[in-house]
Structure 1
Amino acid sequence: MRTLQNLIGGGWRDSASPEAFDLVNPATEEAIARVPGGSPEDVDRAVEAAHRAQSAWAELPVAERVAWIRARADVIAEHAEELAELECREMGKPVALGRSFVEGAVDTLKNSATEALSYEFERTVVVSDDSRVRVLRHPLGAAAVITPWNFPVAMVLGILGPLLAAGNTVVVKPSERSPMAVARLFELLDLPAGVVNLVLGDVRAGQPLAEHERIQLVHFTGSVGAGRRVGAGAGERLHRSVLELGGKDPVVVDAGVDPVATASAVAFGAFVNTGQICTSMERVYVHRAIAAEFVEALVEVAGTYAFGDGRAPDTVLGPLVSEGQRDLVRHHVDDAVQRGATVRTGGVVPERRGFFYPATVLTDVDESMLVMTEETFGPLAPVVVVDSFEEGIERASRSRFGLAATVYTDDPEHMAAAERIPAGVTWVNQWQGGGPEMVYEPAGDSGMGATGARASYDAATRSASVHIAAAPARSTA
């Protein structure tokens, strides 16, 4: 097994610390690589490299920076299969699913970088006949990007475009559970030395990076607890932070929709990537008028989600990322059953090697259960029957989280009412729908900081104004 290295200032370097740990394939439980634990010295080197490279990168014309990024995106697209296979080995995602997300993220990288060509980095406002104001958007400097394990490549690509196109340099710290695909991604990026840097490790790298005095922006995606610490640290230094944290996303199913077709859509939203998506459907509120047929169809569809090694073409559900994550899912199900929930399908850890858990449907659940209040991040669909659409909206809104929500309805008034759910994104009749112009900011414990389209450029830049008046007239005395 090889020990992974950091990318600092354009060169691959061993960690300054000898401490390392095994990366385990969650489908086979076999060690596949050694990952450095990380150290403040690694972080210092990477941030210094980013700081040194930033002014030259920012001085390039915007069009040239965008051309660099788009050219590298094309190279990454050619390696989508390879990157997906690495993700499969390190965190279990089926290869076909991983490839589709890598390809989608490449498009996002290109589109978000191209947005820089129309973004107003500078504009002039005429104040009077003899004065004007130049309004400028400056890059922040060196930014830290700390990403989770569930979409290793897609998360990095989804964040990098605006940061780099705006003239910032970055230091990326991926999750210690999925560093291999990101390391290969950085080989393919091949931007000027120091523009992108990679530091591997766990909290021993993440904390000093988030708290580094030369980091002007921390873009963090992860748990609520860690996000609070990142935000508090950024506030202490008066540096900017964008936080995308946990979710407990609801879905409301109205009486007038097709229960079978909607059950299939909800199954996908709850089970895809083994439920390991921040915006997975984790609370299902279905109208009593169609509840019986909906649940029957949901159970039937769940049975078609075959689990296994993601390299097999018939695998729909890969393993959970770790034994600890599977134990959390099992704990949530056991808690629900002990409090009166009914397991309609799944709910049992299979007797086989790997951290697998089947697609599971629960009924007779309520808000006293962990599956309805805490983020599960597993292939569970807990179903609550409601007596009206209004009740569904009201109960969907009862959460400390506010990342995303989904509503299925054929009623125009109910479509409009969906916006009452406090969430950064609400999808009506199409989970994960939308386009590049979408802007969102999580609500509640799900985070802070608007992203998407021009909001990502606002977050990546600092505004300044220069007022220019006519020079004082010469004295004629």
Structure 2
Amino acid sequence: MTTLKNHIDGIWTDSLDPHRLSVVNPATEVTEDEFGRGCPADVDAAIAAARRAQPAWATTALEERVALIRDWADRIEEHTDELAELECREMGKPIGIGRGFIAAGVAGLRAAAAEALDYPFTTTTEDPDGGRTLIVRHPVGVAAIVTPWNFPVTMVLGALGPLLAAGNTLVVKPSERSPLSTVRLVELLDLPAGVLNLVLGDAHAGEPLVAHDDVDLVHFTGSVAAGRAVGAASGHALHRAVLELGGKDPVIVDEDVDVTATAQAVAFGAFVNTGQICTSMERIYVHEAIAADFVEELLSAAEDFACGDGLDPSVMMGPLVDDRQRRSVHAQVVDAVAKGATVLTGGELPEGIGFFYPATVVTNVDESMALMTEETFGPVAPVTVVSSFAEGVELASRSSFGLAATVYSHNPDHLDDASRIPAGVIWINGWQGGGGTRTYEPARASGMGATGTTAAFDAATRPTTVHIAPVDD
């Protein structure tokens, strides 16, 4: 076991707070590493380093910044297996699943570097009076990135690519539940000192970071409750905030689909990463014409998601991140059963070591149950039978969340109807499609601030208008 350190101004340094937190392997319940819980002094030092480095980084040629980012992406790719193992040890994601998502994160980092070369940092128009107007987009300055525990590598790469390429300097704080892989990412870094700083810890580091007067932008991914607090702190400090928060994503299954293939796809969307994805399929609305067959196929597909230690390449579903998360998931299932729901498979706390929870399919659910209204973040697939596609759309739209939605149908009219579901992303006949081409903004309580492709660079920069009046000869 080692003690993880902060990375500030190019130097690995201990937290100034003597209290220690532990990284516990959720499959074995063995402590892997420890680290300082963080404090305002750690945050002050990291932000000061980022502030000092920012002018030189902003004036570094764009092509040079992009080349450094691409070199980093290459190194990350070379260490994919190592990073996937670290994610497995810190939060339970099976290494086979982890490799794929890390590859997606690397692809996103490279896409951001390419986008930077095409982004209009300066545009010029000729004015009617003979003058010129320039719109120059400057980096906002120092950005704070706070990432969640469920995708430690992918989420940090997705957030920092446009910010770095646009000339901002960064302070990154990963979740206290999963710092191992982020520390390794920074070890692979080769940027000028102070451009990317790392502060470890829990709320003792996170709260002073997002509220700091010398931060210009906060990019936060996490729960709605924490997001509200971050938004309030950002509003008080009058700095920009991009918030991607929780989801309660619906999936609508129309009567004209291939039942077996669709049930397998829905099982994957509900159970992959043990359901610990903001865009997991957490509300399933199935047309009554195929409902019985669909549920039977979903139960069959759930059998492929047996629990196990994700270091075993054959394992499809690892543990939940910790016992607190497991008990939260189970409490929703217990509440649903008490209110009339039927558990067809799973739904019980297993005995033994590890924070495992079985793939669970539940029917006879309604909106009186937390399982249908609050984010679950676990491997639970609640199924509701609907009499029509229109009813599915209506129920799918009835939520306080609006992160993403998935629709399976071959009816063009129904697909048009589905596009009106209030969500940042809508996938048609293919969950998680689209790759790096997404531009979206979460709806309702799922967050605020557009991101992806050009929108990410808009968020990472501040426009200034420069008018040059004509000069008489």
Amino acid at match of 1:210: V
Corresponding residue for residue 418 of structure 1:
418
Task: Return the offset for 1:128.
Answer: 2.9
Shift of 1:22: 1.8
Which residues in structure 2 correspond to 1:73-472 (within 5 Å)?
A: 73-128=73-128, 130-471=130-471
Q: CA deviation at 1:436?
A: 2.5
Decide whether the 8 Å contact of 2:50 with 2:197 is kept in 1.
Answer: yes
3-state SS, counterpart of residue 250 of structure 1: strand
Matched, 1:3 2:3: yes
Is contact 1:362–1:381 with CA below 8 Å preserved after alignment? yes
Task: Tell me which residue corresponds to 2:54.
Answer: 54
Q: Counterpart of 2:304 in 1: which secondary structure?
A: coil
For 1:262 and 1:435, the matched residues in 2 are separated by 20
> What CA deviation, in whole Å up to 9, does each residue of 1:15-57 have, x standing for no partner?
0110112211100111111121100000000000000000100
CA-CA distance at 1:471 after TM superposition: 3.8
Which residues of structure 1 form unaligned runs of 5+? none
Please identify, of 127-136 and 151-160, the stretch whose mean Cα deviation from structure 2 is larger.
Answer: 127-136
Paired residues of 2:244 and 2:448 also in contact (CA < 8 A): yes
Encode CA deviations 1:312-346: one digit per residue, 9 max, x unaligned. Answer: 12211100000000001110110011111111111
In structure 2, the residue matched to 1:63 is 63
Residue 409 of structure 1 deviates from its aligned partner by: 0.3
> For 1:330, what is the secondary structure of its paired residue?
helix
Q: Counterparts of 1:161 and 1:33 in 2: how far apart (Å)?
A: 28
Q: In structure 2, what is the Cα distance between the partners aligned to 1:356 and 1:35?
A: 25
Question: Alignment partner of 2:236: what SS?
Answer: helix
**C-alpha distance after superposition, 1:81-111 (max 9, x if no partner):** 0011011001000011111111111111011
* Secondary structure at the counterpart of residue 119 of structure 2: coil
Q: SS at the partner of 2:305?
A: coil
**Is contact 1:116–1:166 with CA below 8 Å preserved after alignment?**
yes
- Runs of 4 or more, structure 1, over 4 Å off, are none
Residue 26 of structure 1 corresponds to which residue in structure 2?
Answer: 26
SS in 2 for 1:420: coil
Deviation at 1:472, TM superposition (A): 6.4
Contact 2:129 2:470 in 1 (8 A): no
RMSD over aligned CA atoms reads 0.9
Give 1:277 shift.
0.2
SS at match of 1:246: coil
8 Å CA contact 1:149, 1:177 repeated in 2: yes
Q: C-alpha separation between the residues in 2 aligned to 1:156 and 1:317?
A: 23
After TM superposition, give the deviation of residue 129 of structure 1 in Å.
5.1
Cα distance in 1, alignment partners of residues 24 and 208 from structure 2: 25
Cα deviation, residue 452, structure 1:
0.4
Deviates more, 1:345-354 or 1:77-86: 345-354
Letter in 2 for 1:290: I
Using the TM superposition, name which of 308-317 and 125-134 deviates more.
125-134
Q: Residue type matched to 2:190 in 1?
A: D
How far 1:303 moved relative to its partner? 1.3
Q: Distance between the aligned counterparts of 1:420 and 1:128, measured in 2?
A: 41
Give the letter for the 2:389 counterpart.
F
Indicate the SS of the match to 1:286.
Answer: strand
Quick one: distance in 1 between partners of 2:87 and 2:224? 24
Q: Distance in 2 between matches of 1:72 and 1:184?
A: 12
Note the residue ranges of structure 2 that are not aligned, 5 or more in a row. none
1:261 CA drift (Å) = 1.0
Conserved? CA contact 1:303–1:345, under 8 Å:
no
Query: What is the CA distance between 1:75 and its match in structure 2?
Result: 0.6
Superposed displacement of residue 232, structure 1? 1.1
Q: Which residue of 1 aligns with 2:38?
A: 38
CA distance in 1, matches of 2:358, 2:320: 10
Indicate if the aligned counterparts of 1:252 and 1:392 stay in contact, CA closer than 8 A.
yes
Contact 1:393–1:418 under 8 Å retained in 2: yes
Shift of 1:470: 2.6
Q: Distance in 2 between matches of 1:71 and 1:225?
A: 37
Q: Distance in 1 between matches of 2:438 and 2:180?
A: 30
Instruction: Give deviations 1:121-179, integer Å, cap 9, x for gaps.
Output: 00111103531111100000000000000000110011111000000000000000000
SS in 1 for 2:135: strand
Report if aligned partners of 2:275, 2:380 keep a CA contact under 8 Å in 1.
Answer: yes
Give the whole-Å Cα distance in 1 for the aligned partners of 2:187 and 2:124.
40
2:128 partner letter: S
Q: Does structure 2 conserve the Cα–Cα contact (< 8 Å) formed by 1:43 and 1:208?
A: yes
The Cα shift of 1:190 comes to 2.0
Q: Once structures 1 and 2 are overlaid, which stretch shifts more, 38-47 or 427-436?
A: 427-436
Question: In the TM superposition, what whole-angstrom CA distance separates every residue of 1:355-377 from its partner, at most 9, and x where no partner exists?
Answer: 00000000111111111000000
How far apart, CA to CA, are the structure 2 residues paired with 1:319 and 1:331?
17
Cα deviation for residue 113 of structure 1 reads 1.5
User: Which stretch has the larger CA shift, 308-317 or 140-149?
Assistant: 308-317
Please state whether the residue corresponding to 2:123 is helix, strand or coil. strand
What is the identity, as a one-letter code, of the residue corresponding to 2:38?
A: G
Matched residues in 2 for 1:83 and 1:274: separation?
19
Q: 1:149 & 1:465 partners in 2: Cα distance?
A: 40
Q: Matched residues in 2 for 1:82 and 1:96: separation? A: 12
- Aligned-partner Cα distance in 2 for 1:46–1:142: 10
Structure 1: how far apart are the matches of 2:470 and 2:271? Answer: 65
- Percent identical across equivalent pairs? 63
Aligned length: 473
One-letter amino acid matched to 2:109: L
Contact 1:305 1:359 in 2 (8 A): yes
| Structure 1 SS opposite 2:3 | coil
Deviation at 1:114, TM superposition (A): 1.2
- The separation in 1 between residues aligned to 2:229 and 2:341, in whole angstroms, is 35
1:393-443 deviation line (CA, Å, top 9, x unaligned): 000001000000000001011111111110000001000001323210000
